[in-house]
């Protein structure tokens, strides 16, 4: 297979793309097979472990489980309470997977993993259309092996699916620019994928593509193109897909006894007030702005080393923007606006680390386009030279990572068998846990001894991968250098997965749920001595509601205000009565001596990952 033999594709602004050299079908099939194989090695391999994590991971999996249990595909519930925050598409996918394959970790993750595969193939299709076969292949290669998409599919959030529908949005939009007049297929496809994005993540599914497309048309002087997008039938297609769920959710969740219903909570509280950092309840933190921007480079590592070259392909001069842009120029401008709009939008809002994840396909396409040009043109001396410079910088980073990894490896010792990882961590930092990776601040040199295998593998892969990439580029083979980086990332991400499996008892209460399951009898109660999210895996794995010994807050807050809400929250007085009463109570706690027990008798059932299950009655009773 010789990707470098395929030249980039060119096109004209006012008409269809100019014919490109025919691509052998065997080559195209080979490239798709490589993309699918990398997806399988990286994503499918990690679908079956570890256990679901507390907080968003198991909360979202539980919402889908209760959807099936209640036969209610309109109103989401968690722990028996209405969960009005989220759009439904991800949960529909998980619920359908449960119906087909049963409730499990892998069936919960399957729809998201299939979404990643669809994203990769769509990115390849868009890149191939705009940049030629090599550009499409490298765009998908960048995306499947980058750090960010992998990290933020380790728990069940829909942001990569937003990236999928944005990629489809812009694939259809570029097609409308090439057709005269734009076909129904392109216009209706654009409307349908925007609607699906609204069902995935709410109004940003409309705001992002609309903003990018309008900015593109303003900059290129083509604003009248909007009138060609079938402005009667296209909005109807959008409404037919997006409106029914919103209407049904509003009808089934009206204002109730002073509690505002779905329309206010979903649109005002979850969209506008959250953007203004005034959402009720405020149960999230904000990443500092400079870190938020800098993380975008980390999310496309190691390919961010070639981002400066990729950005040079964006048409910036006013005269150039108003000229007849060819297909690569159109795509470059669109992808740049794609990433910029998302980055700037959240710069003025509450910010989490993963909010820029939907921008990554756009960056992957920009980088993939440049990698394709570098690989297919041996005569482009400046591109080859800049590629070698970036590869040298990347090798220096890889060498530094190897040195640091070796120092940590030799300064650590494998823990004794049976050691609880929690005992090797520093004191908990609850103020950091509102961030997605806040637990990383708990790590100590002693705790790293439990990760010696993944640490060694990651360190060696960084050294060898970046070193081979630099060596091969110096030898005039950038395509082989790219494949060396891809192989490095397969090993590196598998090491990350192995480390996550080791660390998962800290992040999940699954083992505690299994311990309860051995002794649980109908009528027993399970109480979480904290917010629901801290032990939400108990609810998912046991399949029974749990009680919360905490003030109303976080995901359960608003649903608990409705008059038909089941009893979930316990006060100290009501908990004291339960603990001293005849009912067996299983208490989840992360305290060595819970102050809520006031010294009352307790019996420890299990202790894993710094968390314990205590009971109020001897296990033999």
The one-character DSSP state at 617 is S
Is residue 5 scored above 70 in pLDDT? no
How far is the C-alpha of 30 from the C-alpha of 26, rounded, in Å? 6
Longest dimension (CA), the chain: 83
Instruction: State the alpha helices, DSSP H only, in 18-132.
Output: 25-42, 56-70, 89-101, 105-131
pLDDT for 10 equals 43
Is residue 104 scored above 50 in pLDDT? yes
The mean pLDDT of 78-90, rounded to a whole number, is: 95
Is residue 422 scored above 50 in pLDDT? yes
The model's pLDDT over 426-484, given as tens digits with 9 standing for 90+, comes to 555 555 555 555 556 666 667 777 788 999 999 999 999 999 999 999 998 999 999 99
Residue 17 near residue 327, CB atoms below 8 Å: yes
Residue 538 near residue 513, CB atoms below 8 Å: yes
Burial label for 217, CB within 10 Å (0-12, 13-18, 19+), is: middle
Could you please report the per-residue DSSP string of 273-308?
IHHTT--SS-------HHHHHHHHHHHTTTGGGGHH
- State which H helix or E strand residue 458 sits in: helix 452-474
Distances 573 to 285, 313, 541, 577 between C-alpha atoms, Å: 31, 66, 28, 6
Per-residue pLDDT band for 284 (boundaries 50, 70, 90) equals low
Backbone angles phi, psi at 11, to 5 degrees: -155, 175
DSSP-derived pairing of the beta strands 611-615 and 525-528: unpaired
Residue 570's closest CA among 588, 585, 550?
A: 550
Residue 615's closest CA among 507, 516, 479?
A: 516
pTM over 0.85: yes
Residue 212 near residue 344, CB atoms below 8 Å: no
The one-character DSSP state at 264 is I
SS (H, E, C) 164-227: HHHHHHHHHHHHHHHCCCCCHHHHHHHHHHHHHHHHHHCCHHHHHHHHHHHHHHHHCCCHHHHH
What count of residues does the chain have? Answer: 621
pLDDT for 331 equals 95
Lowest-confidence range among 111-115, 322-326, 415-419? 415-419
How far is the C-alpha of 296 from the C-alpha of 355, rounded, in Å? 10
pLDDT for 423 equals 66
The model's pLDDT over 218-264, given as tens digits with 9 standing for 90+, comes to 999 999 999 999 999 999 999 999 999 999 999 999 998 889 999 99
Is residue 105 scored above 80 in pLDDT? yes
Residue 529 near residue 588, CB atoms below 8 Å: yes
The model's pLDDT over 528-584, given as tens digits with 9 standing for 90+, comes to 999 999 999 999 999 999 999 998 888 899 999 998 899 999 999 999 999 999 999
pLDDT for 13 equals 36
Burial label for 443, CB within 10 Å (0-12, 13-18, 19+), is: middle
Residue 302 near residue 394, CB atoms below 8 Å: yes
- State which H helix or E strand residue 589 sits in: strand 585-589
Is residue 158 scored above 60 in pLDDT? yes
Using the CB atoms, write b or e for 457-483: b if 16+ within 10 Å.
bbbbbbbbbbbbbbebbeeeebbbbbb
The model's pLDDT over 48-62, given as tens digits with 9 standing for 90+, comes to 999 999 999 999 999
Burial label for 354, CB within 10 Å (0-12, 13-18, 19+), is: buried
């Amino acid at each position: 297979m010789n990707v470098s033999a395929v030249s980039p594709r060119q096109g004209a602004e006012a008409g269809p793309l100019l014919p490109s050299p025919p691509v052998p079908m065997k080559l195209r099939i080979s490239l798709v097979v490589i993309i699918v194989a990398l997806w399988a090695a990286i994503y499918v391999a990690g679908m079956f472990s570890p256990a679901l994590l507390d907080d968003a991971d198991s909360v979202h999996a539980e919402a889908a489980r209760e959807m099936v249990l209640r036969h209610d595909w309109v109103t989401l519930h968690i722990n028996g309470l209405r969960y009005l925050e989220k759009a439904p598409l991800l949960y529909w996918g998980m619920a359908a997977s449960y119906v087909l394959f049963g409730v499990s970790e892998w069936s919960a993750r399957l729809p998201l993993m299939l979404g990643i595969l669809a994203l990769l193939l769509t990115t390849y299709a868009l890149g191939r259309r705009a940049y030629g076969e090599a550009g499409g292949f490298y765009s998908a290669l960048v995306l499947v092996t980058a750090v960010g998409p992998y990290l933020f599919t380790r728990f069940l959030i829909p942001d990569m699916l937003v990236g999928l529908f944005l990629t489809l949005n812009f694939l259809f939009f570029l097609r409308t620019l090439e057709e005269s007049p734009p076909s129904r297929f392109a216009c209706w496809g654009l409307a349908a994928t925007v609607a699906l994005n609204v069902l995935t993540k709410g109004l940003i599914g409309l705001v992002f593509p609309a903003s990018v497309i309008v900015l593109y048309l303003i900059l290129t002087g083509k604003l009248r193109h909007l009138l060609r997008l079938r402005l009667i039938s296209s909005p109807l297609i959008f409404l037919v897909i997006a409106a029914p769920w919103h209407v049904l959710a509003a009808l089934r969740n009206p204002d109730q006894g002073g509690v505002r219903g779905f329309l206010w909570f979903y649109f005002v509280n979850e969209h506008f007030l959250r953007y203004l950092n005034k959402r009720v309840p405020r149960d999230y933190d904000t990443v500092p702005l400079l870190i938020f921007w800098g993380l975008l480079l980390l999310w496309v590592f190691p390919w961010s080393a070639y981002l400066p070259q990729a950005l040079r392909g964006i048409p910036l001069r006013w005269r150039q923007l108003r000229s007849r842009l060819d297909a690569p120029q159109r795509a470059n401008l669109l992808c740049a606006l794609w990433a910029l709009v998302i980055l700037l939008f959240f710069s003025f809002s509450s910010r989490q680390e993963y909010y820029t994840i939907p921008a990554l396909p756009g960056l992957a396409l920009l980088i993939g386009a440049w990698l394709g040009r570098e690989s297919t043109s041996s005569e482009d001396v400046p591109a080859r030279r800049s590629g070698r410079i970036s590869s040298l910088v990347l090798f220096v980073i890889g060498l530094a990572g190897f040195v640091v990894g070796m120092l940590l490896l030799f300064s650590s010792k494998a823990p004794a068998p049976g050691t609880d990882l929690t005992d090797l961590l520093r004191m908990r930092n609850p103020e950091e846990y509102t961030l997605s990776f806040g637990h990383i601040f708990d790590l100590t040199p002693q705790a790293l001894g439990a990760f010696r295998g993944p640490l060694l593998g990651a360190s060696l892969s960084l050294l060898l991968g970046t070193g081979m990439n630099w060596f091969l580029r110096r030898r005039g083979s950038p395509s082989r250098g790219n494949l060396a980086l891809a192989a490095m990332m397969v090993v590196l991400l598998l090491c990350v997965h192995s480390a996550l499996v080791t660390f998962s008892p800290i992040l999940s209460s699954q083992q505690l749920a299994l311990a309860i399951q051995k002794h649980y009898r109908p009528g027993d109660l399970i109480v979480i001595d904290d917010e629901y999210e801290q032990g939400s895996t108990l609810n998912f794995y046991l399949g029974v509601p749990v009680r919360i010994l905490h003030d109303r807050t976080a995901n359960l807050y608003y649903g608990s205000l409705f008059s038909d809400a089941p009893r979930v929250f316990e006060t100290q007085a009501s908990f004291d009565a339960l603990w001293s009463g005849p009912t067996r109570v299983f208490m989840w706690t992360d305290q060595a001596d819970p102050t809520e027990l006031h010294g009352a008798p307790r019996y420890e059932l299990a202790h894993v990952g710094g968390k314990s299950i205590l009971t109020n009655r001897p296990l033999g009773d």
